[in-house]
């Protein structure tokens, strides 16, 4: 039982890590290239989930819903960048925090206005229902496995985009020297809009995919957003590689902690107490890990400087 449980929990951790990577890569890219801290990133996650749920419910086609959800998140990202975000690039972090906090309020309440306060439900597509039989008698949800696979594809895609394409070259130049890319004749405004939209679309993808595992409701993006912050602080702000490593680390540690902390404590205290203390401590685990990493590396694992 234990081995199968461990493998299953590690897979769950990887699946959470995948979600976090989709969120964190956008955040870290936007910070690395434009120097912007965006609290409203969770709103794109939420937007992706709501649009996917709505389109899937109307058309009955999950894949169409997913596609429209991701595109919608990207388009909302473009609109937000054009209207608000581009006015914030030369502002201080405090202004960025405030303006994007205001965006959260607008998006959350706006979604309430449109959808009301009851959650939407999205079911797993027919093709991915049921579980997959793995070696050693382990079985694991097809859908969650597909999410992990998608995360791997996105990570490879981002790697290729950044290392092989012209856009990627401009992004790298932007991370190194913001003034220089202007001199290279790159249209910075368009580049910034594209990068922001890419981040928003990735967040939308995460939200759309997770919608089938949880209820789709207002505020669903916030816990994920804060975990994504932990991820990029651990990985080093601005580093995609850091976001990947941080996301997997946070996903696995958080998931395993929640299961195994109470199980460990049960060996030397009564079960009910072990459950409550274990769950309380495991909820703090990733933050303790973050503090420990920062104590040794103030700029994260892969941060510049």
Partner 1 sequence: MTSLQNRLNPQTLLGGLVPQSREHWINVVLVVGLVGAAVLAHFLGERFYINLASRIAIIAMAAVGLNLALGFGGMVSFGHAAFFGLGGYVAGIAAYHAFNMTPVLGIGFMPEGTTQMLSIWLVTLLVSGLLGLAIGKISLGTSGVYFIMITLAFAQMMYYFANSWPNYGGEDGLPIFLRNELPLVDTNHHLTFFFVAATLLLISLWISQRLMGSRFGAALTMARMNPVRLATSGIDPQPVKLVAFVISAMIAGLAGALYADLNRFVSPSMLSWHFSGELIVIVILGGVGRLYGPLAGAILFVLMETWLGGVTQHWQFWLGLVLLGVVLFARGGLMGFLAGRSKDV
Chain residues binding partner 1 by CB under 8 A are 31, 37, 39, 84, 87, 93-95, 97-99, 101-106, 108-110, 112-113, 222, 226, 229-230, 232-233, 237, 276, 279-280, 283-284, 287-288, 290-291, 294-295, 298-300
Q: Which is nearer to partner 1, 114 or 183 (CB)?
A: 114
Q: In terms of Cα–Cα distance, which of 257, 246, 255, 251 is closest to 280?
A: 257
The answer to whether the CB of 232 falls within 8 A of the CB of 24 is yes
Closest to partner 1 by CB, 3 or 287: 287
Backbone angles phi, psi at 21, to 5 degrees: -65, -40
- What distance in Å separates the CA atoms of residue 257 and residue 74, rounded to the nearest whole number? 34
151: left (phi over 0), alpha (psi -120 to 50) or beta: alpha
Taking the complex as a whole, the smallest distance from the CB of residue 58 to partner 1 amounts, in Å, to 25
Determine the Cα–Cα distance for residues 1 and 259; give it in Å rounded to an integer.
14
Spatial CA neighbour of 268 closest among 259, 278, 258: 278
Cα separation, 9 vs 224, whole angstroms: 19
Nearer to partner 1, 39 or 147 (CB): 39
Q: Which is nearer to partner 1, 89 or 159 (CB)?
A: 89
Smaller CB separation from partner 1, 88 or 210: 88
CB closer to partner 1 out of 9 and 279: 279
Least Å from the CB of residue 91 to partner 1: 8
Residue 96 beta carbon to partner 1: minimum distance, rounded to whole angstroms:
9
**Rounded least distance, CB 6 to partner 1, Å:** 23
DSSP characters for 77-89? Answer: HHHHHHHTGGGST
């Amino acid at each position: 039982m234990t081995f199968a449980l461990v493998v299953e929990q590690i897979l769950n951790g990887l699946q959470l890590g995948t979600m976090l990577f989709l969120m964190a890569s956008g955040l870290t890219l936007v910070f690395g290239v434009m120097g912007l801290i965006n609290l409203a990133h969770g709103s794109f996650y939420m937007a992706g989930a709501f649009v996917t749920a709505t389109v899937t419910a109307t058309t009955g086609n999950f894949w169409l819903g997913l596609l429209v959800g991701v595109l919608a998140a990207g388009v909302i990202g473009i609109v937000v960048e054009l209207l608000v975000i581009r006015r914030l690039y030369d502002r201080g972090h405090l202004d960025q925090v405030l303006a994007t906090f205001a965006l959260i309020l607008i998006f959350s309440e706006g979604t309430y206005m449109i959808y009301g306060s009851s959650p939407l439900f999205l079911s797993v597509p027919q093709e991915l229902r049921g579980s997959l039989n793995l070696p050693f008698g382990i079985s694991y949800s097809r859908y969650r496995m597909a999410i992990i696979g998608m995360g791997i594809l996105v990570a490879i895609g981002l790697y290729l985009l950044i290392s092989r394409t012209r856009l990627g070259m401009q992004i790298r130049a932007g991370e190194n020297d913001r003034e220089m890319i202007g001199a290279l004749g790159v249209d910075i405004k368009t580049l910034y809009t594209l990068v922001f939209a890419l981040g928003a679309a990735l967040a939308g993808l995460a939200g759309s995919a997770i919608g089938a595992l949880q209820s789709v409701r207002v505020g669903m993006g916030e816990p994920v957003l804060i975990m994504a912050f932990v991820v990029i602080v651990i990985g080093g702000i601005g580093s995609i590689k850091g976001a990947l490593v941080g996301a997997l680390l946070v996903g696995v540690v958080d998931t395993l902690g929640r299961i195994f902390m109470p199980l460990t404590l049960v060996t030397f205290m009564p079960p009910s107490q072990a459950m409550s203390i274990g769950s309380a401590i495991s909820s703090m685990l990733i933050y303790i890990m973050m503090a420990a990493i920062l104590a040794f590396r103030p700029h994260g694992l892969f941060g510049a400087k």
